[in-house]
Chains A and B, each alone.
Chain A
Amino acid sequence: EPEVTQTPSHQVTQMGQEVILRCVPISNHLYFYWYRQILGQKVEFLVSFYNNEISEKSEIFDDQFSVERPDGSNFTLKIRSTKLEDSAMYFCASTSDRSSYNEQFFGPGTRLTVL
């Protein structure tokens, strides 16, 4: 069964460093998402991406964050200068069609720890 994959599973970084979280969405999906879950809190939407453009983003997704689809398979989330409060699980998701009632499929997540 096709699945969303994410690397690394755990990333430890120093405050102020840049990190790139990587995702490989399901191959025939066209819509890609990043969510995060701070420990003990809700899963929160960060950004959605379609046709090489951001289509929606939340207030959390400020100019420290960026997303990219550098090739036909990878989808990345970059945090330019990490802060302590960026420590969270980051989930990538994808879906085939956002205009109809289709579920989003989630990857296993990357645990980001900012020291």
Chain B
Amino acid sequence: DQQVKQNSPSLSVQEGRISILNCDYTNSMFDYFLWYKKYPAEGPTFLISISSIKDKNEDGRFTVFLNKSAKHLSLHIVPSQPGDSAVYFCAASDVAQGAQKLVFGQGTRLTINP
């Protein structure tokens, strides 16, 4: 089941620069997308989300972009900080159909170098 894919297992970015994490999905019924951040030995922590009626959502240093025609979303972090080093998961859900489960990507390990 590869409905949500994060093709980059890891990403290394210099502190202060922009981090861009990518996610692709195949299920056109998905209408709600979320990004979670995970530190070792902790549960996923919600970062930011976007519904399919929007193409951009911004919260502080975090912006999520959604391209429905390409079935692609991305998370931009700017400026990147050392505390941003973690694994980032993209997740999707089909809210309109009443589906409750989140379908996760494999995660991208982000390392911010000082």
Interface residues of A (CB under 8 A from B): 4, 6, 31, 33, 35, 41-45, 48, 55-56, 58, 91, 93, 98-101, 103-109
Given A31-B100, A45-B103, A55-B100, A107-B43 contact (CB < 8 Å): yes
Within the assembled complex, what's the spacing in Å between the Cα atoms of A103 and B103?
13
Nearest A residue to B31, CB-CB? A101
Chain B 77-109 residues near chain A, CB threshold 8 A: 89, 91, 95, 98-107
Within the assembled complex, what's the spacing in Å between the Cα atoms of A41 and B9?
11
Within the assembled complex, what's the spacing in Å between the Cα atoms of A109 and B39?
12
- The reply to whether B100 and A33 form a contact with Cβ atoms under 8 Å apart is yes
- Interface flag for B32 (CB, 8 Å): yes
Within the assembled complex, what's the spacing in Å between the Cα atoms of A100 and B40?
30
- The reply to whether A42 and B104 form a contact with Cβ atoms under 8 Å apart is yes
